[in-house]
Amino acid sequence: MSEPLPRDLFDPACPSNATPFQIGPKWGGMVLVCLRDGPRRFSELRVPMRRVSAKVLAETLRALERDGMITRTAYAEVPPRVEYALTPLGRTLFPAMDACRVWVAEHLPAVLDARDDYARGGA
Count of structural domains within the chain = 1
Q: How is 62-121 classified by DSSP, letter by letter?
A: HHHHHTTSEEEEEE--SS-EEEEEE-HHHHTHHHHHHHHHHHHHHHHHHHHHHHHHHHTT
pLDDT tens-digit readout, 86-108: 999 999 999 999 998 899 889 98
Residue-wise pLDDT tens digits, 48-68 = 988 889 999 999 999 999 999
- Whether 103 maps to a domain, the answer reads yes
Evaluate whether residue 107 is within a structural domain.
Answer: yes
Q: Collapsing DSSP states into helix, strand and coil, what is residue 42?
A: helix
7 is a domain residue: no
pLDDT over 90 at 45, yes or no: yes
**What is the domain extent for residue 104?**
15-119
6 is a domain residue: no
Q: What is the mean pLDDT of the chain?
A: 88
Q: Is residue 10 part of a domain?
A: no
Rounded alpha-carbon distances, angstroms, from residue 28 to 32, 64, 110, 118, 121: 6, 7, 25, 28, 33
Query: What's 73's domain CATH number?
Result: 1.10.10.10
User: Phi-psi region for residue 41, left (φ > 0), alpha (ψ -120 to 50) or beta?
Assistant: beta
User: Is residue 102 a part of any domain in this protein?
Assistant: yes
pTM of the model: 0.83
The fraction of the chain above a pLDDT of 70, given in percent, is: 91
